[in-house]
Amino acid sequence: MSGPEKAGSRRIRVLVVEDSPVIQQLLSHVIGADPRLEVAGIASSGEQALRMIERAAPDVVSLDIRLPGIDGFEVTSRIMRQNPLPIVVVASDVRDLDIPMRALQAGALAVVEKPGSMARADYQTVAHHLCTQLVIMSQVKVIRHRIAARSARPAGNAAPDAVPADASAYGRLPEAAVTADGRLRRFRAVGLVASTGGPAALARILKDLPPGFPLPVFVVQHMGAPFMAGFANWLGTVSPLPVRLGEAGLVPRPGTVYVAPGDRHMLVEGGTIRLSGDPLVCGQRPSGEELFRSMARAYGASGIGVLLTGMGEDGARGLVDMHKVGAYTIAEHASTAVIHSMPGTAVRLGGAVEELPLDRVAGRLLQLTSDDKMAS
């Protein structure tokens, strides 16, 4: 994710929702020390936060996930229904991601690690990352969500009444998907890349891919390294497909989802997964550029690349590389992307065969991998 543009001379107002007095003081210190930010108010419960929003007029919310009374998911759901604001979930327990992931489904934009203590060795790094995410997310234009309480449906900006993916609902495929004699091209792998808004978008796609999906699926999601194992586990609870972190030397299997682990690029080389600690690309590690470029080399025209919501340009030029070798490439349409920067850049560079709203991506993947040899 690229750095934010200058937000102007006014400081960004942060509503801190945290029940621990000690952590309240710590977060107030961290936020107050950043010249870009100021504390607009502190709420000790979700109910208090909801009451304070109109009076405090925050630009962004820092939200604890374990609160007395209503939990972080319910707070997020109500804010996004009533007074939509950018929400950054601040999590202390990186092993149990159920609540923050559900909050992301409900419309929260990011999950970051809680600084915890000034005594920890990486305190400055964690504190700076928290502040930077608050600045970045404060600039996102959020929309009101219509979400049933405790719904299992990923929210994002997808149509609330969307139906499950159906490969038969799309009619004739674009020419890029078929051979000269009208037969459906054969594909060997799918790559999905996302950043801000990505967890809900990925969940939306993966939940609609059925058991026995015929291709391996590679996923790059920009998220703090401590959260990646829990994120992969969570994706496995919403998808019919098995989901695991990518490991060096693994041979990709059809119908399995491989998530890039924290702080490592994931590539496909020589028929196996390779992990790399090479420098950040587009400010990211893992990087979608690295995944897509390796897929262009490994699979050529038999790869499928999908670039989803996100700030910055990561993955855009990699999608162009895939497109140049004949792969089928999809960019998420602006109508559903939380942030259209990544897919929009790919479209501007000519790297997308087509743009699709989020609720149509899984259906297209099913259509591209249909057992029917002739294109309809």
**What is the number of structural domains in the chain?**
2
Q: Is the same domain home to 45 and 87? A: yes
**φ, ψ (nearest 5 deg) of residue 336:** -120, -15
Q: Is the same domain home to 183 and 234? A: yes
Whole-structure pTM value: 0.83
Summarised one tens digit per residue, pLDDT across range 316-348 is 999 999 999 999 999 999 999 989 999 999 999
Summarised one tens digit per residue, pLDDT across range 3-12 is 444 445 799 9
Q: Is the same domain home to 110 and 179? A: no
pLDDT for residue 135: 95
Q: Of the candidates 100, 120, 138, which is a domain's last residue? A: 138
Average pLDDT over residues 51-73: 92
Q: Per-residue pLDDT for 156 more than 60? A: no
pLDDT for residue 177: 84
- Whether the Cβ atoms of residue 362 and residue 336 lie closer than 8 Å to each other: no
pLDDT for residue 285: 96
CATH of the domain at 124: 3.40.50.2300
Q: What are 300's two structure tokens? A: 């050529």
Average pLDDT over residues 298-322: 97
Q: Of the candidates 122, 138, 154, which is a domain's last residue? A: 138
Q: What is the mean pLDDT of the chain?
A: 88
**Please, which pLDDT band fits residue 97 given cuts at 50, 70 and 90?**
low
**Which residues share a beta bridge with 258?**
218, 244
Question: Which of 106-120, 144-158, 192-206, 360-374 is the most confident on average?
Answer: 192-206
Domain boundaries, position 267: 167-368
How deeply is 121 buried, as exposed, middle or buried, from its count of CB atoms within 10 A (0-12, 13-18, 19+)? Answer: exposed
Q: Is residue 146 part of a domain?
A: no
Q: Per-residue pLDDT for 274 more than 80? A: yes
- Other Cβ atoms within 10 Å of 280 Cβ, number: 12
Q: Is the same domain home to 208 and 104? A: no
Q: Is the same domain home to 61 and 202? A: no
pLDDT for residue 155: 37
Q: Is residue 121 part of a domain?
A: yes
Q: Is the same domain home to 80 and 199? A: no
CATH of the domain at 329: 3.40.50.180
Summarised one tens digit per residue, pLDDT across range 35-55 is 999 999 999 999 999 999 989
Q: Within the chain, where are the H helices? A: 21-32, 46-56, 72-82, 98-106, 123-138, 198-206, 228-238, 288-299, 316-324, 341-348, 361-368
Q: List active site positions.
A: 195, 222, 314
Q: Is residue 161 part of a domain?
A: no
Summarised one tens digit per residue, pLDDT across range 81-95 is 999 999 999 987 666
Q: Is the same domain home to 131 and 234? A: no
- Whether the Cβ atoms of residue 356 and residue 327 lie closer than 8 Å to each other: no
Q: Is residue 22 part of a domain?
A: yes
Summarised one tens digit per residue, pLDDT across range 215-256 is 999 999 998 888 898 899 999 999 999 999 999 999 999 999
